[in-house]
Structure formats: structure tokens, C-alpha cells
Structure 1
């Protein structure tokens, strides 16, 4: 398998990584230190992550949101009292450079396709390489995160910024369980703007674009979906702007159910001075600062009244896959987890089979499949589309059957 083939498989299985490239381009537009250098090192060439944002106002609004999150999160991390920041996902931002200069240890966790690109760039820009490390992980995969942090001591400041909204309820539950497990193991806290990300976008755009804000937001959403070929999913942690009170309670209850508690920090009280202000009028700046009184970042810690969780159940069987072309049918058996780390292997196997002879159908034996994420589902859909829906899943566990049927897959009844 060539490096290019592996990378193409990773990109197709995990297209959401393109949103991280858009974020660093927006940071460059906001004149955040080192962002432009990182963009140049990434060499986007003709595949500019912002090419779908043709309206300068949409770029401005997004840059405002992105810079606000970046600078505010960096400030909160430094004030957290923790020496170690675990950034999940780390994306392509210069956060590692900024925090290591402040004397913190930075551990960047992200999809392998992101880590492979950003790690050499960051290392070329710093002299504090001992305080910076990167690891390719899947956020739903407990073992991948535990392994990445196995040599870490001291309390952690875990950050999730721009990630939780891309999970369905099934995945979000696993991610929150994993974060809780890491806090139980290491101590510390979790800081995230993600529950109120829709509110921050809405209030930010409305404060600077007024009556035109809804149209600008719609254009922004369309651009993001075209860019990453992935839609925001629904899960209990994300607050619905059409039902703020009830969905806020749902989100807090979701965190509480995992043995943790929430403190909400008013964003307006913690925003540092932004470079993007130079592109705004004084009235827009005032409106924006006032609007951020209605937006919060969440600081989440273990509930002292919780019961200690047994994480041994999260140990997954190793991934395994066997495949062959039989009677022009692509037959595959999968065991363990099919997630962001392993789904590209299935896609690579499919591409390899196609080079010999295009199958007329596919059968995937799921008898040993324990868990599947949206990346795994995406690869199944790619294969199904290529075969005009002639794909069948066999021996599906009852815990996965409903999920597969919701996605439109054929699941024969168990014998």
C-alpha cells in the first residue's frame, strides 16, 4: 500500500479533517500569530479550504468566531492550573507553539491524517519539542487515547473545540465516557465551547450583520458541508437554538449521567483583545461583546459524589479483517472496532479488489464487529454506492442492527 493510497483512504473515511484546514485558514485571515506560516507549509495549492466562501462577509463572520474560540480557549487553558493540555482534536492550529512558550506541555490528539501533516510543521517552528507531542487517535476509542497518555503525569486540561458536533448520540456517549475515564485516571478538567457552538455562531453573526445574519449563516453552513462532505449530527450535548432551555438541561443531564458536573463561563468576561476587531466598526465590536454575554464555555469536572467507573469494559478486541473476491462478490469479515483508525483499511481493501475486477455485490460479515463509528458507516456507504446498493451485512449484533437499518443497509434476519 502506497502512502498516497493510505492518505486517500484516510481522507475519504474522515472528510471532516477539512474543517480543521478551513479553521487554520480563517486564523490566518484573523492575523493569529504563526497561522499564515502553517497555511503556507500545508501548501493547499488549488484546493483552498475557503474556496467555497465566496462572500467576504461569511469569511469575516467565521474568522471572528474562530479567533474568539482560539484566543479564549488558550487563555482559559493557561488559567486552568494544569501543566498539561490535551487538545482533542488539535487540528492545524498554532496552539502547541503558544502554550509551550507559556511553559505548558502540549499533547495534540487527532486523526492520523491530521497528525501526519501538522506534527512536522510544528516541530520545524519550535525549539520546545520536548514539551510537544502528537498522537493519531479515534476519540471514541478508549484504548487509543489511553495509550497516547500512558506516560503523562499530573492533572490534565482536556479541550474539545469544534469536534462534538460531528458525532451522533452513539459516538458522543463513547467520547464523553472516554474523557471521564481520563479525568479519573489523571485528574484535571475538561473545557469545551462545543455545546453552545451554534449559539456562538448565531450571536456573532447577528451582532455584526444584523438583519442579513440569517442569510450569511446559511451560506456559511452550506460552505462547511460542501467542504467536508459531512453534516453536523445530532447528539444530547449540542444545544438547540430553537429550544435553548430544554436542550441546555438535556446537555447538562447528559454530562451528569457520566459522573461529571458543569460550570458555565460567560464568554464576554473572558475574551482577550482580538485582531479581527481591526476589520470591524466600533458599533459592531460593541454589539459583539454584548452578544457574548449570552454565550458560555463549559468547564467540566468529575462529580465528587460520583461512583468510580470500571473502565475495563472499554477494552476492545484488536481489529481484524479478512477479504476476498468470490464469484465476483466482495466478501469481508470484520472484527473489533471499525472507526477512524481502521475504516481506511477496509476502503483500501475495496480499492485493491476493484483494480482486479469490479464486483457485482458485497457481503460483510459483522459477527465479530463490536463497534462502528461514522467513519466506518461512511466506508460502507461508499462501497454500497459503487455497487448500486448491492451490499448485504450479515451476522449483525442486535446492538448494531437498528443503526445499520437507519442508514439504509440490508440486514437479513438472523437464522
Structure 2
């Protein structure tokens, strides 16, 4: 009897061990991918589409057989346009959900909120939106435009093609517009623009009462010099802003507006007829003619089940970033963060304008710069494009504290702010 009990106990123990050993095996059947975009609140107008395109990209990759022999599993959270909540949701994705990488954020304040979490927990974030630069992190890959890939070329276009001499820098009141405008003020003054010919104004997120602000723009533009508005207005505040421009009769031939945060998705909700001729600067427009873009648009509209849904620049940035991550994981043979971070530098994948974008040692990518005019149908006619790809510059050449800094995350340097003047590295740098 004792022998029987011992045998039964041994069998029972073995079964328990087998059951326990099956748990991690089951958990590892998929590779989880975090999606960290606002699905509610003021930024949902822009970010919901980015969640959808990530779901499409993951579905397409699974149809190809997944990654490393496993299916990809999307883990979607809603930080609800609440900046501290972004950090909580990022921690949940990394610590609780055990995602291999995260694709997300739109505003710089949301990225700033999550950045310490990614560095603490050593995970990877792919950030798909234009931003102000002045930041470098081993754990962040910036697939949107740096200022030299959007803001500076836009100003150059207005100066050279439109003869603009007087400037309104209109933005939402947070870090991206303020830092970008600081760079632009320095750049404009270096180009000979007088301080009195630059007006700077900020409004809160979700701002709706634009009558006074637009009237001030109109008055500033009546001084006899060609005037333009450089807009870093973000989120759903763009809808009443553009409506008020139309209400007050501000036409593109009089005071052109060039936007850095308005694309096809934002224009889809408003009557664009009075806005025809106003501009946007991006690295991609839906109107780009290339086989890659035609295929992408078709796949997107099929996935979303609507031939009326548009594409935009941050969607392309996710397309590039996701494909770079896939290629780096395949190259590394693992989803381990350190191995993938090392493998990402030098990876090149097709973009949607017909070329290849590469990941640089500063964790920024190469991109073309396009200027587009708003059309009555909400699309953009491309009026200017750089002849080649522009390398993203993480530290501005026009700010005294930044002009001598570079980031290079390759060994042995592995430095976020290496000072070429002093030859010293200060490590991570997230100002």
C-alpha cells in the first residue's frame, strides 16, 4: 500500500509539474505587440487611425507566418489623451502584458511621460509623429520627422517660393510647439528676420473659440509684408481653427498657413473648400504616386472596410517602424530588447514614396520632405519635394546648447548626447 501511495504521489507530482511547465509554454505561443494610442479625448481624432493601422500591419504579418515561427498578438490600451495615464498604460503593457515592443504616442508630452518607463523597464517604443527633437534615448525609435525634416524645410519653402517676410508661430501650449517654435525663431533670425516680424501664440488643447486669435493673425498680416502662419496646433482644435480661418476670409494667397499636425485624417471632418491652397509639410501624403503607396491604400481600405478612409503621414511612419522592428527581430533571432536595439541600427525598409528609409545610429530615420497644398477634396497636391532623403537630426544646429551634440547608440560610443567640442558623453539625454 505504501508503495502504491508513493507511486500515486509521484505520478501526481509529475502531472502537476507537467501542468506547470505547460503554462509558460502557452504564454509564449504568441509575441505580444503593444499599441499605446488615445482612443478617447482630444487626441482621438488623430490617434485612433494609428491603432487601426497597427492592427492591419499585425494581421498582414500573421498572414505571412508571423515572426520567429509565432503569431503576433496585438495588445491595445487607451490612455485617453491623459498624459500621466500614458505612463501607467506603458507600464501595464511592459510589466503585466510582457509585450515585446510598443508602438504609440502622438504628442510629445505623452512621449515624455512614458520615456522614463521604457528606460527603467528596458523596452522599446516606436514613436510615429513629427516632434521637436532635443531628445535622445536608447529605448525610443523616432520614425516621425525631426525639425530638420519638416519645420525647417517648410519655412525655407515659404521664404523662397512665397516671399514670406513676416511670421505667425501658432501652436498648442505644450512641449512640441514651444520647442519647435524656439528653434524656428532662432532659425528665422539667423536668416535676417527681425524679432518684431515674428508673432508667437499658444492655446490650450481642445481650444475652440478661435475668433480673437484669428483676428490677431489677420491684423498682424496687414502690415504690408507677406505673412504666413506656421501652425503647430494639435488634435481636435484644428477643426474650429480652420473653420474660423474660412469665416474671416483668410485665403492662402493672402496669408498662407503651413501645418505640421494636419493631414488627411484631420481634414476629413471639415469643409476644405475655403482652405484650398493652404499648406502642410509632411514626409508622406496619400496623393503620392508609387506602387508601394497604391498597394498600401488598397490594403488599408480593404482592412477598414471603407473606400472613403484616408491614409496619412503617421500611418506611414508606423508602416516603416513596424517593418523595421520585424526585420531587426529576424536579424537578431530574438525579441530581447538589447539585441533588437542593436540590430535596428542600419536596417532599411521601403517607405511609401518609392524609396527606402534607414534607421540611423541616433535612432532617427531618413525621409523625404514634402510640401502639399490642400485641395477641395481634402487631399494634398504635392508642390515641393526634396530630391533625396533627409537624415533626422536629433539635436538642433540652431540652439546654442544643442549645436555641438550628436547621438550615436552604437558600441562603443552608445551615447545620447556626445559633445563633439569637448569630446565628452553625458549618456541618455531627454531634455
The TM-score bracket by the shorter chain reads: 0.3 to 0.5
Higher helix share: 1
Q: How does the TM-score come out when normalised to structure 1?
A: 0.33
- From the CA coordinates, give the structure whose radius of gyration is larger: 2
